[in-house]
Amino acid sequence: MKPTEAVASAVLNTTSVVSGRLAGKGAFALFHMPLVRSRPRSSERELTAAAHVERLDIGGGKHAVTYRWGDGGRPVLLVHGWQSRASRLSAFVPGLLDLGHSVVAFDAPGHGDTGGRSATILDYRDIVSALHDRYGTFDCLIAHSMGALGSFFGLKHGVKAQRIVTLSGVCDFDYLVEEFCAELKVRDGLKVRLHEEIRDRLFPGLPREEVPFSLTDMPRVVRSPLLVVHDEDDTRIRVAQGRRLAAAFGDQARLVVTSGLGHRRILADAEVVRTVLDFVAHGPDGADGSRDAGGTEPRTAPVE
């Protein structure tokens, strides 16, 4: 456990003995606070500089910095994950432009070049929804990690995408809660309080059986073809999350499991980029369905 996490753990668990309600609110706030703000890499700066950059207000005093390449026609939305930024998905931009798409991306609150100290799944939903209102149905939505949850929450609330790609995607909101509680060694009583805060503040409109939010409840809402790409060596979001997502969508989904890329390198791997662009251009069958990202032999053909 890092020193910052150790202090947070001690404070939350000690407070929970005195006031479970106060500790629950503190845990909820910390759960939504990115502790690291990633900086753009030198390889990303030139592409980011070429984008049309705007500020998007989403209410509640929050905003997002948005990026657009192209004229806005045939839009593809890129959605970054936790403690990340839009530029991390820049490897997909040139190929998407070559295919005749415009590319839209954003830095969520507390991420990248956007101000603020926290972000919730509601912020992701609101940003994705606002960009949908501006550009219309997305030709494809490509989301990484926590961005998959936020994007699907937008889809649940009316956003439309003809195709969807998840990269190292989170399937279950509860997975993030469990990882957070395990990392901070949160006591069971405080975990219950955190779940109550999440239910009341993030998902008050959902049926109780659908809280916490899970993408396994989405196939009846989302009918678009889905490409699920996940690395078997991902130690941040385990590959079981990708398998669970693909299994929930059945024949609607194609699962591609890579090896040796982990949670972040998957975003820049040439074979992954090629696989995603092929899916965007040709749909689930693809122009070349005989190869998976990360290998010359198909390794993922039945979805588990």
Contacts of 39 (CB under 8 A, 6+ apart): none
Handedness of CA 240, 245, 250, 256 (dihedral sign): negative
Interior/surface letters 32-50, b for 16+ CB within 10 angstroms, e for the rest:
bebeeebebeeebeebbee
- Average pLDDT for 81-85: 97
Separation CA 267–CA 88 (nearest Å): 7
The DSSP H or E segment spanning 232 is: none
Is residue 71 within 8 A of residue 78, CB to CB? The reply is no
pLDDT 10s digits, 59-72: 999 999 999 999 99
Beta bridge partners of 257: 230
* Total length of the chain: 304
Phi and psi at residue 177, to the nearest 5°: -65, -45
pLDDT of residue 26: 87
Percentage above 90 pLDDT, the chain: 78
Separation CA 81–CA 86 (nearest Å): 9
- The tokens describing 75, both together, are 């839009």
pTM of model > 0.85: yes
pLDDT classification of 187: cutoffs 50, 70, 90: confident
pLDDT 10s digits, 230-269: 999 999 999 999 999 999 999 999 999 999 999 999 999 9
Burial of 63 (0-12, 13-18, 19+ CB in 10 A): buried
CA end-to-end span of the chain, whole Å? 34
C-alpha angle 109/79/229, rounded to 5°?
A: 140
Mean pLDDT in the chain?
A: 89
Separation CA 95–CA 185 (nearest Å): 43
